[in-house]
């Protein structure tokens, strides 16, 4: 009893120091005792001008993977007892939490629905949208992921009927089965434009189908979007690794934080997503960086999860109007201070709220913020871990949000002008459910009112566009004449492809010359969506900046350095490709617009484009133009294989590019014939060697200039190390963990032990070293001391993503066990526990099985003293970027 009271006393001191309220019901007090003993909330911190309260714990919301808050304050939590690597169904649900007296403590709850692996939730009126994994009733195995909608019209906290599918098969089932839902499709969020934005991990998907029957395939990660009725599914951006959620501001600027830490140096990247943009992962973001929209910053190691853009006047100005990004690996909710930079932004990251393994964040229309914490629930869920916290400004006062179902049209109009983004969205969606005439009248009055703030007018514009459809074109054209709202009127005019047949082309051609780069981008995107190829000539006039520069051979390009100058031409190229503007691009070769034309032609795999390039080469006069044309042809020599979800590039992909799984196609022979002819005539053949290497054409005649230096690999007998017994080996893990909390350790000693204990066999500390197992050069940015200690003492408890042991049976009676250090479409590179490296042809593999145990054997620290282990932990914790 003394131990419990002492823990509570310590917890009380820490919690009150961080403004955490400790008024709880008896059942919650019992839960809080357990939390204090487990040190789960002790690491919580938030600014002193905020108040936090422990809202619900693991007896109700264990392993919370995501959450969403209704405008009126009801909290919906996705309980995921499968976790990211588990594979057994029947362990998930959506729990609805109610705080009837609004004091920051859950009063009652219901199980709203049962489903597996909830990954995203949106609450709007009596509808609840959920993204989750589906399982086959016959096999018990994952069969895909669906976006579904539930209804609760009687408001009893339980879904009325089974869910209705909106989008099906929006994740590859093969890798959900073999790995689990870790690189899958994730968070969902609705913008004020009425689209549901879906974060797609790099599993990608094949033949996702929406309610209209439209099918869509995407290789790798990015953002897709769909209407709330499940129609018009389309790709929004492409080329991110594993985003978990989006933050969307009132002007439809979208931000993400990649969840990229799998130990190989692929760090977290904070990005601004611009419609149709290509972000490059994994094939372009190192060696072809001139072609991508780079991230705004590389933040080092971590694991981005939920996110939100705060737009609520009840919050202090310093915390308002900012994207907030949760990072599971860094145990933090971060603020990103974004500043306009041409058509994009720059940013500064700030620590905001510290919460152990935070998974998600959302805000209601009254200003209450809710955060969910995974809290050590592991990769397969834990019934005793996880909780939800509420945070509000210190001077916050509850003001009830009206029942919008009972609100009049006039009241909805008032809410659409609210200073809360959540209130505006809720009012908009309810207004759109009323008669079309009412919705049109109210939204147009707001959209056209020049005295209203810009965010409110933007809400009015997008509400009007949704309500009026094609009949609203003439009014939106009028708004496009107004400088403050021109960008948004242009966006709204082409937002729905079903309504664009009568949208005037001249408006967007004129927008290309607008002083505002944001208006230029909106115009260019619109031209691509209008689908009128006559716009190509104007698009080819877009200037390409000096920053359009390929990285030097052997050097990684700046994939996470803001480059606002590249955005306008990049989007112009995407629109040219969308228009399939072959003739216009070919005609522009050799003119002042040659650079952008050749850039666009890199992606046009057509016999017509190849023949046009070859013809242009024959009449080109200067050497520079000839080389540029040959470089474009070399890029077209191969193309990406059609994606069928039978393969995935894994967590350790080949990042050389320009394609991951390349194939030759019908025009490859013609390209090869020309290249060899010119190679034979050239006195300096290095240009062709470099093209062969960069584009991985595999033309044997050219040879290769690549030199792969032999590297001496560290060989360690780890079994000898683990069998020694010292102070650590003779103690319980619990006693060791308690000791580690008290002993600071010596980093220099830890550095020596890193080599002595065999860590160096499977882990590198610098990106200049060969990447082996989980990268340790930034481990202190990802884990705290306690987590590092646990991963050493219990390696099977939390296997680093991308480093599960793999057992391979290959032809010739060969068997291998290790972890994959690199994977191409044709070869695996495997490292075993002793540091030995094997390269295995995929065509030789008979079977490949991922094991559930770590390659790192337990007991490697047994021979150490407490001081030595603490020193090793200190050394590793000091490895930060």
Q: Is 78 a residue whose pLDDT tops 50?
A: yes
Which of 445-449, 539-543, 636-640, 651-655 is least confident?
651-655
**142 within 8 A of 170, measured Cβ to Cβ:** no
Q: Is 860 a residue whose pLDDT tops 60?
A: yes
pLDDT number for residue 29: 41
Task: Give the residue among 145, 338, 343 at the shortest CA–CA distance from 257.
Answer: 338
**Beta strands of 12-104 (E only): which ranges?**
20-21, 50-56, 64-69, 75-80, 92-98
DSSP letter at 469 equals: G
Rounded-to-integer distance, Cα 36 and Cα 781, Å: 24
The tens digit of pLDDT for each residue in 59-76 reads: 999 999 999 999 999 999
Percent of the chain exceeding pLDDT 70 equals 86
Rounded-to-integer distance, Cα 631 and Cα 688, Å: 9
pLDDT number for residue 854: 61
Q: Is 300 a residue whose pLDDT tops 60?
A: yes
DSSP letter at 769 equals: S
Distances (CA, A) of 668 to 570, 611, 672, 702: 26, 11, 6, 15
44 in helix, strand or coil? coil
Q: Half-sphere exposure of 49 toward its Cβ, with a 13 Å CA cutoff?
A: 8
Sheet holding 108-114, edge to edge: 64-69, 75-80, 92-98, 108-114
The tens digit of pLDDT for each residue in 750-793 reads: 888 777 766 766 677 776 666 566 677 777 776 777 778 777 77
pTM of the model: 0.84
Sheet holding 20-21, edge to edge: 20-21, 50-56, 387-393, 369-373, 358-363
Distances (CA, A) of 642 to 393, 600, 604, 663: 51, 20, 15, 9
pLDDT number for residue 613: 98
The band of 716, judged by pLDDT with boundaries at 50, 70 and 90, is very low
Please list, in sequence order, all residues whose beta carbon lies within 8 angstroms of the beta carbon of residue 680, skipping any fewer than 6 positions away. none
Termini Cα distance of the chain: 43
Rounded-to-integer distance, Cα 405 and Cα 417, Å: 18
Rounded-to-integer distance, Cα 275 and Cα 338, Å: 18
């Amino acid at each position: 009893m003394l131990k419990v009271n002492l823990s509570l006393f310590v917890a009380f001191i820490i919690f009150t120091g961080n403004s955490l309220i400790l008024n709880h019901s008896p059942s919650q007090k019992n839960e809080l005792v357990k939390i204090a003993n487990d040190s789960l909330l002790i690491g919580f911190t938030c600014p002193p001008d905020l108040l936090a309260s422990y809202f619900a714990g693991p007896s109700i919301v264990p392993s919370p993977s995501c959450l969403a808050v209704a405008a009126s304050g009801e909290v919906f939590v996705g309980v995921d007892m499968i976790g990211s690597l588990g594979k057994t169904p029947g362990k998930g649900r959506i729990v609805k939490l109610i705080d009837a007296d609004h004091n920051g403590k859950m009063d009652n709850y219901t199980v709203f629905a049962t489903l597996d692996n909830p990954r995203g939730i949106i609450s709007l009126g009596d509808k609840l949208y959920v993204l989750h994994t589906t399982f086959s009733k016959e096999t018990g195995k994952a069969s895909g992921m669906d976006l579904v909608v539930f209804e609760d019209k009687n408001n009893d906290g339980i879904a009325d009927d089974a869910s209705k599918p909106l989008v099906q098969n929006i994740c590859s089932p093969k890798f959900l089965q073999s790995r689990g839902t870790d690189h899958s499709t994730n968070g969902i969020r609705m913008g004020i434009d009425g689209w549901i934005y879906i974060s797609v991990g790099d599993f990608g998907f094949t033949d996702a189908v929406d309610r209209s029957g439209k099918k869509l395939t995407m290789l790798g990660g990015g953002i897709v979007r769909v209407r709330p009725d499940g129609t018009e599914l389309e790709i929004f951006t492409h080329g991110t690794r594993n985003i978990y959620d989006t933050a969307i501001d009132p002007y439809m600027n979208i931000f993400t934080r990649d969840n990229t830490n799998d130990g190989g140096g692929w760090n977290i990247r904070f990005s601004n997503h611009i419609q149709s943009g290509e972000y490059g992962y994994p094939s372009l973001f190192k060696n072809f960086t001139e072609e991508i929209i780079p991230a705004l910053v590389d933040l080092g190691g971590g694991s981005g999860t939920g996110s939100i853009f705060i737009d609520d006047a009840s919050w202090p100005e310093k915390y308002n109007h900012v994207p907030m990004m949760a990072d599971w690996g860094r145990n933090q909710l971060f603020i990103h201070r974004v500043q306009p930079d041409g058509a994009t932004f720059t940013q500064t990251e700030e620590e905001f709220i510290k919460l152990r393994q935070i998974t998600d964040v959302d805000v209601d229309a009254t200003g209450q913020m809710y955060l969910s914490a995974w809290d050590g629930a592991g990769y397969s869920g834990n019934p005793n871990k996880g909780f939800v916290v509420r945070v509000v400004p210190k001077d916050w006062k509850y003001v009830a949000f009206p029942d919008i179902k009972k609100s009049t049209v006039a009241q909805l109009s008032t809410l659409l002008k609210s200073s809360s983004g959540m209130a505006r969205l809720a009012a908009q969606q309810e207004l759109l459910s009323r008669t079309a005439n009412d919705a049109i009248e109210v939204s147009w009055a707001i959209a056209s009112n020049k005295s209203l703030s810009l965010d409110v007018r933007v809400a009015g514009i997008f509400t009007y566009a949704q309500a009026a459809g094609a009949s609203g074109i003439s009014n939106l054209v009028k708004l496009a004449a107004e400088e403050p709202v021109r960008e948004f009127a242009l966006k709204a005019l082409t937002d729905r492809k079903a309504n664009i047949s009568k949208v005037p082309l001249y408006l967007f051609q004129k927008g290309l010359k607008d002083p505002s780069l944001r208006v230029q981008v909106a115009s260019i995107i619109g031209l691509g969506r209008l689908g009128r190829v006559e716009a190509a000539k104007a698009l080819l006039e877009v200037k390409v900046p000096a920053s359009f520069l390929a990285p030097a051979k052997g050097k990684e390009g700046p994939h996470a350095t803001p480059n606002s100058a590249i955005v306008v031409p990049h989007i112009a190229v995407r629109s040219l490709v969308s228009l399939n503007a072959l003739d216009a691009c070919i005609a522009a070769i050799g003119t002042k617009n040659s650079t952008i034309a050749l850039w666009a032609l890199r992606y046009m795999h057509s016999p017509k484009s190849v023949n046009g390039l070859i013809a242009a080469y024959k009449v080109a006069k200067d050497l520079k133009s000839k080389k540029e044309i040959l470089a474009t042809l070399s890029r077209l020599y191969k193309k990406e294989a059609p994606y069928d979800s039978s393969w995935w590039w894994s967590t350790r992909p080949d990042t050389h590019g320009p394609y991951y799984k390349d194939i030759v196609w019908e025009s490859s022979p013609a390209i090869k014939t020309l290249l060899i002819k010119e190679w034979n005539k050239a006195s300096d053949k290095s240009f062709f060697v470099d093209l062969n290497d960069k584009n991985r054409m595999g033309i044997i005649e050219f040879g290769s200039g690549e030199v792969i230096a032999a590297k001496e690999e560290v060989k360690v007998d780890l079994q000898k190390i683990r069998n020694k017994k010292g102070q650590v080996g003779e103690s319980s893990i619990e006693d060791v963990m308690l000791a580690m909390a008290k002993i600071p350790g010596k980093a220099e000693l830890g550095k020596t032990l890193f080599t002595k204990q065999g860590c160096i066999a499977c882990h590198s500390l610098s990106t200049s070293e060969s990447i082996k197992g989980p990268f340790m050069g930034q481990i202190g940015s990802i884990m705290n001391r306690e987590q590092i200690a646990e991963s050493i003492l219990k390696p099977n408890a939390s296997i680093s993503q991308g480093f599960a042991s793999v057992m391979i049976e290959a032809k010739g009676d060969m068997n291998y066990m290790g972890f994959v250090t690199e994977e191409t479409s044709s070869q695996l590179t495997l490292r075993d526990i002793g540091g030995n490296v094997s390269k295995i042809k995929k065509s030789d593999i008979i079977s490949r099985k991922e094991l559930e145990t770590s390659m790192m054997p337990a007991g490697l620290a047994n021979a150490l003293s407490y001081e030595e282990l603490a020193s090793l932990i200190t050394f590793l914790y000091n490895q930060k970027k």
